[in-house]
Structure 1
């Protein structure tokens, strides 16, 4: 089904002066740059080429591009113990600390008051949503154990699961699904976690979502189903995963019931 016009892009920009992001669970499947901007897009534009220089500085992505991930070495990978100067960390909000995975400072912040763990920012994003969006799995695990609510939706119905799926963070997706979040949650940007995982060409994430019963028939606002997106973008591995899943569903329906 051809869309009459592209779906509106939602751009979520983090504000801290520096941001050290973790690698996605399947980092070989998507392009990368050094931006800390989250872009959700479900219109199948032409994928951007991978930057051959992993440490090169690239400008922020244009609206309509895929979610970007930094390919520069993180401070943790370099062997440093902190990812920002102490004075800088002191100035960050609880949401920025969660997005950057600064667990020690985040724990101190949470001890300052009740229910800070589910405190929304101006967009309605909680610390858990930010940590999920930026692939900070240890922060996600800690926040869930602390009592963070994975069912909370932001102002435009964005969820921790949708943003983790956008980034291809399969392990985080698994953690959230264990908490019985809505796997087919539809946001106002026009997509579900599965649609975002397909749009980002995150094969492992697509497999995980399908295995847990994600709906293959839901269309994005652009008019594309998950299979439509995979075909339109030329993502053959994702297309094969979807085809295999459909085949399994078909075969399971052909299995005769056990005689009583």
Structure 2
């Protein structure tokens, strides 16, 4: 038998008994409801011919053996069970226990939850192409939305390209919305789903169709999940890079906001690069007035930050809380100690970031390297009361030379060499990153102007 057949343990048997009791109770409730309706409305024989033809009454299947045949893709069993239109359109009903919060009892309780789906949805989600074809030939409704989704949604969400192709060839609607307001393209959220996305577009899917609630386009979805190939595909089909979702964010905002995992940095960088090449505007602010640069700095993504700056991102624009991108970078230091936040801060300063408020120094407490870059951006060391107590003892002891030098220089004049560095950087302003290289200075002095790490202050 397949690995997906059911194991009948004692707990399973108890669950089945509970399920059977619930189903019997539901049958009795439905029968009573039908009988009540029948008593209230009994048309005369003469009026029967004028009544509209009733819609097909849904039939529910609760047989575990039938469920097992569908979930395991047992084609001979499926052929023997689903022989006509009525059986092909059965509603598969299951009961499962889920934790639900009970306000009356004040605790989480296991509550039976009824779930509905269709044979076509089950087989399409699992890639059982032969079973899908058999059900369609028997009259299964290709666009039936059961349990919130149609078969085309399930095949795309589970990247079953061959089933997607088969459904589309049987006239499945490539723009059909699920009960959650998602089109099939919105469910292509993994790299493996790229063939499904290509098929949907070939069969007429709308590349700029929005989700019902959040007004997110397929391009937003691809940007959120860092899908470079999907992004390229949608742009080739005319996706609008300037489209903004309900929160006012473009796909570029979305990509920068979701690039928060260092191990996935590369693919989000490629998506951002692709969007910028497609004409995305780096200045558009989204939720909480965050620009793409704010989001990239909050995720300590140095390569994306450099890319945005190359395309004209404004380094001193403020979000709704009054924070600049460098403020966001400082607030992210503790979360990305391994991401070299000092490089990011130095890059922003080289592109003209305004002088950093000394009150923000406390966010560098765990990174003496970031602290050194910020302190070297001043012509004199500000009072250390705002940050010195935030440095853990073990960090202080490990980097005692640096911290002792910082405390010693509070409100003391810095060396003339450092003051000259501050004067040159101030003169160059936002062009530090380019202007320093054009100065006729030895390479050692050019490096010094870029605020290199030395491990102490002087």
Q: TM bucket by the smaller chain?
A: 0.5 to 0.7
Matched-pair contact (CA < 8 Å) for 1:89–1:105? no
Listed as ranges, the matches of 1:97-246 within 5 Å are 97-101=187-191, 102-113=193-204, 116-122=206-212, 123-168=214-259, 169-234=268-333, 235-246=341-352
Native 8 Å contact 1:230 1:239 kept in 2: yes
Q: CA deviation at 1:179?
A: 1.9
Q: Does the 8 Å contact 1:95/1:121 carry over to 2? A: no
- Equivalent-residue separation in structure 1 for 2:314 and 2:240 (angstroms): 23
> Secondary structure in 2 aligned to 1:183?
coil
Q: Is residue 2:184 matched to residue 1:94?
A: yes
For structure 1, which segment, 241-250 or 185-194, has the greater mean C-alpha deviation from structure 2 after superposition? 241-250
Decide which structure has the larger Cα Rg and report it: 2
The Cα offsets for residues 42-98 of structure 1, whole Å up to 9 and x where unpaired, read as xxxxxxxxxxxxxxxxxxxxxxxxxxxxxxxxxxxxxxxxxx743674264424433
In structure 2, how many angstroms separate the alpha carbons of the residues matched to 1:241 and 1:95?
A: 38
Q: Unpaired segments of 5 or more residues in structure 2? A: 1-124, 129-152, 158-182, 260-267, 334-340, 353-424, 439-458
Number of the residue aligned with 2:45: none
Greater shift in the superposed pair: 177-186 or 97-106: 97-106
- Structure 1 residues 206 and 86: alpha-carbon distance in aligned structure 2, compared to 1, 3 A threshold: same
Structure 1 residue 212, shift from structure 2 partner: 1.1
Q: Does the CA-based 8 Å contact 2:207-2:238 persist in structure 1?
A: yes
TM-score by length of 1: 0.59
Aligned counterparts, 1:31-110, within 5 A = 85-86=126-127, 89-90=154-155, 92=157, 93-101=183-191, 102-110=193-201
Q: Which moved more, 1:87-96 or 1:195-204?
A: 87-96
Given that 2:252 and 2:272 are in contact with CA atoms closer than 8 Å, whether structure 1 keeps it comes out as: yes
Number of positions where the alignment pairs a residue of Structure 1 with one of Structure 2: 172
Output the CA distance in 2 between the equivalents of 1:146 and 1:136: 16
**Residue 188 and residue 229 in structure 1: after superposition, are their counterparts in 2 closer, same or farther (change >3 A)?**
closer
**RMSD value, Cα:** 2.5
Deviation beyond 6 Å, 4+ runs, structure 1: 252-255
- Residue matched to 2:97: none
Distance (whole Å) between structure 2 residues aligned to residue 97 and residue 152 of structure 1: 19
For residues 125-171 of structure 1, the C-alpha deviation after alignment (integer angstroms, 9 at most, x for no partner) is 11111001100101111111122111111111111001111233111
Match of 2:85 in 1: none
Greater helix share, structure number: 2
Q: Distance in 2 between matches of 1:135 and 1:86?
A: 25
Deviations 1:194-230 (A, max 9, x none): 0000011111111110111101121111211011122
Distance of 2:310 and 2:332 partners within structure 1: 22
Question: What is the Cα deviation at residue 253 of structure 1?
Answer: 7.8
* Higher RCO (CA-CA < 8 Å; seq separation 6+): 1
Mean alpha-carbon deviation: is it higher for 140-149 or for 192-201?
140-149
- The 5-angstrom pairing of residues 20-39 of structure 1 reads none
Shift of 1:189: 2.9
Give the structure-2-normalised TM-score: 0.35
